[in-house]
Structure 1
Amino acid sequence: MHLDLSELSHLAPIFRELFKGFHISRRDAELYAQLSNCQDQYRGLFKAMGFELVCDTRGFYYFVPEQAAAQVNKTAQRLSLFTFILVEHLADQGRDPLAVLDGGSLGREELPSLLDKYRDLFLQAEVQTQEELEEKVMRRMTQLGFASEENGVYRFLPPMHRFLDVCLAVQQDRDLAASVHSHLPLPTPELADPDAGLEHTADPLDLAPFEGEDETEEQALARAIAAERQEIDV
Structure 2
Amino acid sequence: MNIDLKELTQLTPIFRELFKGNHISRGHLELYTQLSGMQDAYRALFKSLGYELVCDIRGFYYFVPEQMGAQVNKTAQRLALFTFILVEHLADQGRDPLAVLDGGSIGRDELPALLDKYRDLFLQAEILTQDELEEKVMRRLTQLGFASEENGVYRFLAPMHRFLDVCLSVQQDRDLAASLHSSLPLPAPDLVEDQEEDIVIIEKRESVESEEDALARAMAEERAAQEQDA
- Residue aligning to 2:69: 71
Give 1:48 shift: 1.2
Please list, as runs of the form range in 1=range in 2, the aligned pairs for 1:63-142 lying within 5 A after superposition. 63-65=63-65, 68-72=66-70, 73-142=73-142
Give 1:173 shift: 4.0
Please list, as runs of the form range in 1=range in 2, the aligned pairs for 1:144-159 lying within 5 A after superposition. 144-159=144-159
Q: Which runs of 5+ in 1 are unaligned?
A: 177-234
Give 1:37 shift: 1.1
- The higher-RCO structure (CA 8 Å, 6+ apart) is 1
Give 1:70 shift: 2.6
- Encode CA deviations 1:188-207: one digit per residue, 9 max, x unaligned: xxxxxxxxxxxxxxxxxxxx
- Encode CA deviations 1:156-203: one digit per residue, 9 max, x unaligned: 011100000010122344877xxxxxxxxxxxxxxxxxxxxxxxxxxx
What's the Cα RMSD here? 1.4
Q: Which runs of 5+ in 2 are unaligned?
A: 177-230
Of 166-175 and 90-99, the range deviating more from structure 2:
166-175
Distance in 1 (alpha carbons) for counterparts of 2:175 and 2:126: 34
- Encode CA deviations 1:60-106: one digit per residue, 9 max, x unaligned: 001014xx443351110000000000000000111110011011110
Distance in 1 (alpha carbons) for counterparts of 2:169 and 2:61: 21
Q: Which amino acid aligns with 2:153?
A: V
Give the match's secondary structure for 1:55.
strand
Please list, as runs of the form range in 1=range in 2, the aligned pairs for 1:164-179 lying within 5 A after superposition. 164-173=164-173
Residues 47 and 107 from structure 1, CA distance in 2 versus in 1: closer, same or farther, beyond 3 angstroms? same
Please list, as runs of the form range in 1=range in 2, the aligned pairs for 1:45-60 lying within 5 A after superposition. 45-60=45-60
> What percent of counterpart residues are identical?
80
Q: Which amino acid aligns with 1:132?
A: E
Q: Which amino acid aligns with 1:154?
A: Y
Please list, as runs of the form range in 1=range in 2, the aligned pairs for 1:211-222 lying within 5 A after superposition. none
Distance in 1 (alpha carbons) for counterparts of 2:101 and 2:175: 19
Distance in 2 (alpha carbons) for counterparts of 1:104 and 1:46: 32
2:28 is the alignment partner of 1:21:
no
Distance in 2 (alpha carbons) for counterparts of 1:171 and 1:91: 13
- Residue aligning to 1:30: 30
Distance in 1 (alpha carbons) for counterparts of 2:41 and 2:174: 37
Q: Which amino acid aligns with 1:21?
A: G
Distance in 1 (alpha carbons) for counterparts of 2:157 and 2:69: 26
Residues 158 and 172 from structure 1, CA distance in 2 versus in 1: closer, same or farther, beyond 3 angstroms? closer
Give the match's secondary structure for 2:40.
helix
Q: TM-score, normalised by structure 2?
A: 0.73
Give 1:50 shift: 1.2
Q: Which amino acid aligns with 1:125?
A: A
Distance in 1 (alpha carbons) for counterparts of 2:131 and 2:8: 40
Give the match's secondary structure for 1:51.
coil
Give the match's secondary structure for 2:69.
coil
Distance in 1 (alpha carbons) for counterparts of 2:173 and 2:118: 25
